[in-house]
Amino acid sequence: MVRLAVKRLVFGALILWAVSVVVFLATAALPGDTAQAILGREATPERLAALRLELHLDDPLVSQYFSWLGGLLTFDPGRSLVNGLPVAEFVGPRIVNSLVLMLTAAVVSTPLAMFLGTWSAVRRDRAADHVTAVVTLVLAALPEFVVGITLVIVFATGPLRLLPAVYVGTGQVTFVDLVLPALTLVLAVGPYIVRMMRATMIEVLESEYVQQARLKGLPERTVLLRHAVPNAVGPVAQVVALQLAWLAGGVVVVEFLFRYPGIGYALVDAVNNRDLPVVQALALLIAALYIVVNLLADLVSLVANPRVRTAIR
């Protein structure tokens, strides 16, 4: 068990290293002049040379990579080319904001979606089940910015001006700023969890141990809460984890839409400004977050499910 966990951790670290190579190659080694791309066509040869020197663009690729990696490992990934701030200082508060947003979405969506899935399974083939099925299918299809814009149209414009359409503050995030972005993310990840919970619960409800519990004459409520739901949680945990990991990327578009001051919005901004050090640091950070959540999910499902624990050596 511990050996397996360690193995997963080592594998995660290896993937993270490979990710850093991809991030570096995508931004530094793609055909085209990086300095020219950053400064634009009108740049003078002197400024180009100065930037190449600052970013060590004339060094061999391998030594460029290692000096960049060294910077990351010492929490000093360089300075932003746009505002001159150290990347770490610029990114720090934004990470907190994004984590708050992701956690809010996760804490709201997971229990709600699991409840809806269970309810839908219990009401199998009745009207409520069909409605849930169609609604989740529709929501699962919609790109998150379409959901977000629709929420803005409904709640922030027109007769109902309940909530701000975009964030207008200066770094501090309050509850009202959080509502619409979090709701968008909840509607984006929820449907998959609902569908998986429903499918698993239907299987569980037809199983012999649930039948046995019913035959014993236990009240349906007890059968559901004590016998069925705990057995459905294991398989659903995987999907929940996958969805929560998705949030790491999902925040990008949603934060941009609501001008929410997190790492996603910062990434889009940096890409638009060709702010290379910030793009590299944020892309790596989001990928790292994604890997860590997946890893946690793996470990949780290892702990939660004895069958997995013994089956995979």
Partner 1 sequence: MTAAVAPASLLRTAARTGRTRVGLVLVALVVLTALLGPLVAPHDPTDFVGVPFGRDSLFGADNLGRDVLSRFLHGGQLLLVLSIAATVVGVGVGTALGMVAGYRGGWRDELIMRIGDVVLAFPQVVLALLFVSIAGPKVWLLVTVVGLSHAPRVARIMRDATLMVVERDFVKAAEVTGTRRLRIMTGEILPNVTGPLMVELGLRLTYSIGLIAALSFLGLGLQPPTADWGLMINENRIALTVQPWAVVLPVVAIAVLTIGTNLVTDGLARASAGLGRGVER
Residues in contact with partner 1 by the rule CB under 8 A? 15-16, 18-19, 22-23, 26-28, 30-32, 34, 37, 134, 137-138, 140-146, 149-150, 152-153, 157-158, 165, 199-200, 202-203, 246, 248-250, 252-253, 256-257, 267-268, 270-272, 274, 276, 279, 283, 286-287, 290-291
- The CB-of-115 to partner 1 minimum distance in angstroms stands at 20
Q: What is the DSSP string of 82-150?
A: TT--BHHHHHHHHHHHHHHHHHHHHHHHHHHHHHHHHHHHHTTTSHHHHHHHHHHHHHHHS-HHHHHHH
- The CB-of-134 to partner 1 minimum distance in angstroms stands at 7
User: Is 180 or 287 the residue whose CB approaches partner 1 more closely?
Assistant: 287
CB-based contacts of 303: which residues, under 8 Å, 6+ apart? Answer: 309
- The CB-of-145 to partner 1 minimum distance in angstroms stands at 5
- The CB-of-270 to partner 1 minimum distance in angstroms stands at 8
User: Is 96 or 268 the residue whose CB approaches partner 1 more closely?
Assistant: 268
> Is residue 27 a contact partner of residue 280, using CB atoms and an 8 Å limit?
yes
- The CB-of-29 to partner 1 minimum distance in angstroms stands at 9
- Cα-Cα-Cα-Cα dihedral sign, residues 85, 89, 92, 93: negative
Q: CB atoms < 10 A from the CB of 180, how many?
A: 25
User: Is 36 or 222 the residue whose CB approaches partner 1 more closely?
Assistant: 36
User: Is 90 or 290 the residue whose CB approaches partner 1 more closely?
Assistant: 290
- The CB-of-117 to partner 1 minimum distance in angstroms stands at 13
Write out the two tokens for 223: 């059968």
Q: Spell out the long-range contacts of 215-221 with Cβ–Cβ below 8 A and sequence spacing 24 or more.
A: none
Q: CB atoms < 10 A from the CB of 249, how many?
A: 14
User: Is 15 or 108 the residue whose CB approaches partner 1 more closely?
Assistant: 15
User: Is 32 or 171 the residue whose CB approaches partner 1 more closely?
Assistant: 32
